[in-house]
A = this chain, B = another copy of it.
Amino acid sequence: MLSLTEENYLKAIYHLSDGGSKAVLTNELAEAMNTKAASATDMIKKLSAKEFISYEKYYGVNVTHKGKVEALMVIRKHRLWETFLVDKLGFNWDEVHEVAEQLEHINSSRLIEKLDEFLGYPKVDPHGDPIPDNKGKIKAQPQLPLDQLKKGYLGKIAAVKDSDSNLLKYLDKIGAKPGTKIKILGKEDYDDSMEVLIDDHRVFISKEVSQNILVSE
């Protein structure tokens, strides 16, 4: 059993390590958690003692298999709750993250299975992020940030970065939501801004924005 704080640290480590594929440094973790390095070190020791991460002094931490599964369960809950808030309660997609940050710590496997069923076993959350199944498996579709593609590209929006509420409001306004077709009509070499076709609407977007739109196909 992890405390709420331990769950949050572990989730942050999982995300910062790109799903367990690289080591996470103490300062990175402290910054992500809005705490100080000394606090991060303390928590690293605790999670390491419980074998959710492996830790070599001064060289950062890696998530263990056990840690990955645990982190994915929290992420599963977060994304199911976000889906519930948008699909059932009518929240906008820029309003759900903070509430889901609380709901993800509710501890009841029965609840989360029932919720999953109630939502119709969704594969992705409102921002297009995949929802792990109850074993921690994720159906990862290969995704690319839009800014790395060039004129003429035609594909589908797979997901958007869900961190900034204002960005989400803007993306909503221009119709950029997961599942929508998108085409790059032109790209400006100087600043990587581009003109795109989203849902038959022509829009100019900056690199700032295109970096946060993930496409597939």
Q: Are B102 and A118 in contact (CB under 8 A)?
A: no
CB of A2 within 8 Å of the partner chain: no
Roughly how many angstroms separate A49 CA and B107 CA in the complex, as a whole number?
Answer: 32
- Which chain B residue lies CB-closest to A98? B108
Q: Which of A40-93 contact B (CB under 8 A)?
A: 85, 88-91
- CB A41 to nearest CB in B, in angstroms, measures 26
Roughly how many angstroms separate A91 CA and B109 CA in the complex, as a whole number?
Answer: 13
**Which of B88, B102, B108, B111 meets A108, CB within 8 Å?**
B102
Q: Which of A109-123 contact B (CB under 8 A)?
A: 110-111, 114-115, 117-118
This chain's copy number in the assembly: 2
Q: Are A102 and B106 in contact (CB under 8 A)?
A: yes
Q: Are B89 and A115 in contact (CB under 8 A)?
A: yes
Q: Are B91 and A99 in contact (CB under 8 A)?
A: no
Q: Are B107 and A102 in contact (CB under 8 A)?
A: yes
